[in-house]
Amino acid sequence: MPAPEWGPFTTVKVLLRAWTAAAAAATARGPTCLRGSEENAMVADVVMRSLVDCILSRRPWPGRWTDLAADVWRQASLFWEVAATAVAGLAQMLDIDAHVGGSGGGGGGPPGVVAALAGGALPFLEWLLRHTVSEVVNVPKVGHAAVAERLLRDLEQLLQRAGPEIAKAPKVGHAAVAERLLRDLTRDGEALGPARTLMSLLAYGDGLQAAAFVALVTKHLRRALRLGARTFRGIALRLATSVLDAAVNPAVFNGAGVPAQRAETLGLVLSVAVGEWLPMLSSLLQQNVVMFAALASLHIQVGWSSCFRKVMDSAACAGVLSSSCSDDGWRRDAITQAGLVPLVGAAMQVLRVLERRPSRGEDERFVADSAARLACTAPDEVLRAHGDFAWRPEAVRVLAQTSESFGPRAGPIILCLLAAHLEAGSPAFESTLPQLQPSTKPASLLQTLSPLLVPPAEARRRLGLPPACASPACVNLAGESEVVLKRQKCGGCGRVEYCCKECQWEDWKAGHKAACGGP
């Protein structure tokens, strides 16, 4: 009897079953006689390559092929330990958007995104990110390095306690696999780079799942801050800056393609991202400047300028640097919470380090524009700033001179007036500053959604995400998702909530003891 002739769709379904069986055996979930064999892992690798080739050959996808691609996502998330080839294939399937164009999948998004979301891509990404922290690297908790001496002491203790191999913070076991898979999924592709990939998933995915992923990135950023991250290559930093890049750069992600019914939900998700990430990124940037000032033999990383741009562009697109934000309480407070004034002061110090670099002129112009916008939005805060990153009159005058070289604008006038007030020690501006001309660039996604942005706590409430832990040092990665992480109110005042006893104790020692009105 001749063998049946299978069509392409049936062939792919059989290949998926074959890959699932081989992956189950390779991960010790199959029959006892087959568990953990290297041969099964090799079979899974070969089958997945054929599977992905078959799916990609059917583009643009008919409806049931999208459903089949979603099944591939589901199975890959179940057997993620041997999913290296599978993840590479999943990323290729996301690249399929380039071949169907725009929102080929209708209101639900492009076919590749629809399949990924239906297959549980967002919970899978959150799970991977939750497991990228190696349990072997038990690094002691350190505070924000306010001065160089303390920073150096903390780094020295870290190296002494961790040992030579752990000091490099290598990921081992599941943490290594999880981080590699997460990096592969958000890799730079020909059609979709990490920025557009992530924003597509957040834009068309379930709002609660998207917010949970964003909240988890916040915890990883906080962890990087506590550990004194010396580079901008960490996975959390890459994820956060990629999302912000898509939000502020219309060339990366065109917000016009997002359907109106998704705009409000995406606005809430971005409210959590902007409200929680900007303070973390700003602190990381400032800490990095302190670190490089202390370790004089090192140079400011190239990634510093790129990250600084994304923070300031995000603040501008969110309306935080608009002159009208004085009438909007949370946007006005966001300038202080995100530490934008000391951040620009830190950028002025970085310019001195970049003095001999060819790109310094471009960096200087961006810092000058940022300083002028801040001076118009929060002039009193700029004048009253103090500390290592207070704005120096001579540095502001240099920015004004640089800004003049780019043509007649209001920026140089604002900076010259600012420098004069700083030299005189004036606590406030005596006259009204000239208005900056609005940008003529195409509106970004974040600018389009700016009227829908709300404080992050309110955004969490509307999306159904539990409130953020009251401990500002919380890096709790327990549980399967931020969605199910339980909160417990303070037994004394009942006004704040914590995710665990450790966070409650840390916050009690950090100052809640004095603020708590309970017995």
Q: Which helix (H) or strand (E) holds 489?
A: strand 488-489
Segments making up each domain of the chain, as ranges? 145-159+174-317+332-458, 468-514
Cα separation, 43 vs 478, in Å, equals 34
pLDDT at 134: 45
Can you give the pLDDT at residue 237? 87
How much is the pLDDT for 467? 92
Chain mean position to CA 382: 27
- Low-confidence stretches of the chain (pLDDT < 50) are 1, 30-35, 98-106, 134-172, 188-192, 296-298
pLDDT at 34: 44
Q: What is the pLDDT of residue 260?
A: 82
Q: What is the pLDDT of residue 259?
A: 80
Q: What is the DSSP string of 181-204?
A: HHHHHT---SS--HHHHHHHHHHH
pLDDT in tens, 486-518: 888 888 888 899 999 899 998 998 888 888 865
Q: What is the pLDDT of residue 231?
A: 62
pLDDT at 32: 46
Structure-token match 């801040």, residue found: 374
Spatial distance between the Cα atoms of 426 and 91, rounded to a whole number of angstroms: 56
Question: How do residues 309-348 score in pLDDT, each as one tens digit?
Answer: 999 999 999 999 876 655 567 888 899 999 999 999 999 9
CA dihedral 50, 54, 57, 58 (to 10 degrees): -170
